[in-house]
Structure 1
Amino acid sequence: MANFLFVTSLIVIWIMLLYHMFLMLGGYFHFFRYENVIPEWKKAMKTLPKVSVLIPAHNEAVVIENTLKSMVRLDYPKEKLEVIVINDNSSDATGSIARKIAAQHPFIKVVDTVAPYAGKGKSSALNYGFQASTGEYIIVYDADNTPEPKAVYYLVMGLMNDEKAGAIVGKFRVANAKKSLLTRFINIETITFQWMAQAGRWFWFKMATIPGTNFAIRRSIIEELGGWDEKALSEDTELSIRVYNLGYYIRFFPAAVTWEQEPETWKVWWRQRTRWARGNQYVITKFLLQFFKLQRKAIVFDLIYFFFTYFLFFFGVILSNTIFIVNLFYDLNLTIGIVSLVLWVLAFLLFVTEVFITLSIEKTEMTTENFFIVILMYFSYSQLWIVLVMNALFLEIKRVILKQEIKWYKTERFE
């Protein structure tokens, strides 16, 4: 029995590793191709549409000024742009700071959430802000983001030129990447995720996932879908699946770049990532239970990917590690002991290779320091993710059984 479980866990792990290698190759190919469409697409950009930028903000006094200054620097006609700061039940100076800047720039306005929207989380705030918007396209930025001047222009460019795209997703980079070892880990994680999971899935399958920030979506789609799901902690993933179900795809267009702040302490990181994991687990469960109601069965392929990521893969790692450790103290009569060690070494080398090739896409990240950080990341950060996902699953099961109210954790910002 131990041999069967061990072999099964190794198969699950290697399926994911090889699939990620496949995605990494797709991401690398996409990097060399995504700019090819820009010269032709520019020709259609003579008459630009009205755009509404939504910025949900709950106690964001530390970062909101820099974010709004980046909105002022956007290379997009201000008469065609409205920036809506959604002051969501803030108890700090978020509202007063935003209003001070809005007084100097007519295209910026501040709305304060009221019941039943106030203090319920990002989805609720976005739904409230959407009601105040008038743009043909809706763009979302988190309150800690500083998009590059051309970011909005490129997001709009994608929607204007690709009628099959329900949403356009840009690239985000870590603004505080060199602040600590943790932010260095996160920087590598985000680069890998975007060029592997986003660019790779787009290249091979014409699929990507809406992130929480730096994306544009058609107003008509939000209206048809009835807004954001206020029960979803990962409102971005949940929205993605519903967009696909309408018959659109989501395009990854990394020409649109924003810079965002990431957690600088392990406590903040744990809470933020736990929310992400719980949110994705909610989405997976929600739509797998609605399998026969989904109009586009191709969505199931992506759901299986998330299911493997947040359930099978982590269970496989935990199971294989447990059997391996138990076997050190109690003979389980494993017949593939040496083989398992070889496979583990190969898995480690494959992990380092995948990540470092992905990092090479961002020229500034191909450094000796990052090489050693990737190695350290495998033995620390990646292993901690396993514990986090299991904890998130426990909390989500507990919430469902006890019928607890979903609580939104707002990520702490830093100076």
Structure 2
Amino acid sequence: MINLVLLAWLLVGFIHIGIPLAYFAAMGRVASSRNYGLNLSNDWEPTVSIIVPTYNESPVVEKKLRNLSEVDYPKDKVELIVVDSASSDGTAKQARKAFDEMGFKGAVLEESERNGKASGLNTGLKRASGELICISDAECLWNKETLRNAVKYLSDPSVGSVSGVHASQALDANLAVSMENSYRSIYRAVRIGESKINSTPVAEGEIQLFRRADLPGFDTRIGGDDTDAALSMVEKGLRAISAEDVVFFEPTPSVWGARFRQKIRRGQHVIQAFLAHRRLFTKRSTPTGIIFPMEFFLYAINPILFVPFVILTIWVVAIFPLVLYPGLAGLAVIILVPSLRQMGATYLTNNVIMLAALYQEARGNKQLTWEKIEENRLQ
């Protein structure tokens, strides 16, 4: 019995911790040592329709549009479409004022009721005339070269979706922000590594580009419109990549409750998209055949293993009291070393967050619309 408990603990620990760490290390190495293997043209300048869906974005919409007006791309080739989903705070009025002041080509569209982000994107898509479609959330900002850098990747016909990488603007160094930065550094390396192998299944709605001809619309039954659209490109035989020189800025909620709500919703939306594209499990190509199942494991299965791993750990300590002393010593090191403390806290909170996301999905609460997180606003 004792040997079985110890064996089970080692096995679950290897699957729950060992396999993810090995995968993260492998993707990090790929990210730093390979290129994307693409034939790119820096001179290609197609027309681009930028769709910005909004709901009660009055604190940020003017700053967002001003940021878009400063991008390094020919103004006559950029069309901006703001789609407001029945805001109650004058977002559409502010957007129109910014349009007039900044001389945008495009339109501010208003929906009579709020039906979710994907619905707003579809409304914008019907109005869009650009060769490329770019979606971007209202609370994020870009570097001046972000759009141009993203466009060049679609000059290679093998690419169907281009997303970017996150750089936090939060200046305070509280634990919530530090943990998010720690998580993002790993997340970024994994997305870039997967992209350089072939495709990453998880995309970022802060900036994502497609060819208009490849994008029929967004599925309104799924919250993760960005990941869902990226996986649709993979199903078409195209690549979906995160580009390391396509940088965006988004504030990290410094309040614990806000951070948890945001990450639970986002985690749940990724799971929804994965389930909608479960056909990718049968893809025979080596890159997709490895990456998609691994990401599904990381998001949907591994968090569940957190529960038996904790139970077995307590059981092993109870059976083998001598294990407690090196365990406490290791815990002390983790607590005393800031980087290890951040990693440990990130491990614990991410597992709790994904368990909550799985619970929300299981009970049918899709979170296709949600209350705005006021802490998550660019200052």
Q: What range is the shorter-chain TM-score in?
A: 0.7 to 0.9
The secondary structure found in structure 2 opposite 1:71 is: helix
Q: Equivalent residue for 1:279? A: 269
Distance between the aligned counterparts of 2:145 and 2:71, measured in 1?
A: 6
The secondary structure found in structure 2 opposite 1:103 is: helix
Q: Equivalent residue for 1:361? A: none
Q: Equivalent residue for 1:358? A: none
Distance between the aligned counterparts of 1:300 and 1:138, measured in 2?
A: 28
Q: Equivalent residue for 2:52? A: 55
Q: Equivalent residue for 2:93? A: 96
Contact 1:173–1:191 at 8 Å: present in 2 too?
A: no
The secondary structure found in structure 2 opposite 1:172 is: strand
Shift of 1:69: 0.6
Q: Equivalent residue for 1:362? A: none
1:17 correspondence with 2:15: no
Q: How does 1:247-258 map to 2 (within 5 A)?
A: 247-258=237-248
- Unaligned regions of 5+ residues in structure 2, if any? none
Distance between the aligned counterparts of 1:94 and 1:71, measured in 2?
A: 16
Contact 2:174–2:254 at 8 Å: present in 1 too?
A: yes
Distance between the aligned counterparts of 2:91 and 2:110, measured in 1?
A: 11
Distance between the aligned counterparts of 1:339 and 1:41, measured in 2?
A: 59
Q: How does 1:202-221 map to 2 (within 5 A)?
A: 202-207=195-200, 209-221=202-214
Contact 2:164–2:245 at 8 Å: present in 1 too?
A: yes
Report the identity percentage: 20
1:376 correspondence with 2:366: no
Paired amino acid for 1:310: Y
Equivalent of residue 317 in structure 1, options 295, 306, 312: 306
Contact 1:24–1:200 at 8 Å: present in 2 too?
A: yes
Shift of 1:217: 0.8
- TM-score between both structures, scaled by the size of structure 1: 0.80
Q: Equivalent residue for 1:307? A: 296
The secondary structure found in structure 2 opposite 1:192 is: helix
Distance between the aligned counterparts of 1:179 and 1:63, measured in 2?
A: 23
Contact 1:58–1:88 at 8 Å: present in 2 too?
A: yes
Q: Equivalent residue for 1:187? A: 181
Shift of 1:87: 1.0
1:212-247 deviations in Å (ceiling 9; x for gaps): 121211111112xxx111121222222221110101
Size of the aligned set, in residue pairs, is: 369
Contact 1:67–1:144 at 8 Å: present in 2 too?
A: yes
Aligned CA RMSD, in angstroms, stands at: 3.1
Q: How does 1:226-375 map to 2 (within 5 A)?
A: 227-288=217-278, 299-329=288-318, 331=319, 373-375=338-340
Shift of 1:208: 5.4
More divergent stretch after superposition (296-305 vs 318-327): 296-305
Shift of 1:406: 4.7
- TM-score between both structures, scaled by the size of structure 2: 0.87
1:336-360 deviations in Å (ceiling 9; x for gaps): x859968x969x99xx9xxxxxxxx
Q: Equivalent residue for 1:200? A: 193
Shift of 1:90: 0.7
Paired amino acid for 1:320: F
The secondary structure found in structure 1 opposite 2:299 is: helix
Equivalent of residue 3 in structure 1, options 6, 9, 13: 6
Equivalent of residue 105 in structure 2, options 104, 107, 114: 107
1:120 correspondence with 2:103: no
Paired amino acid for 1:305: M
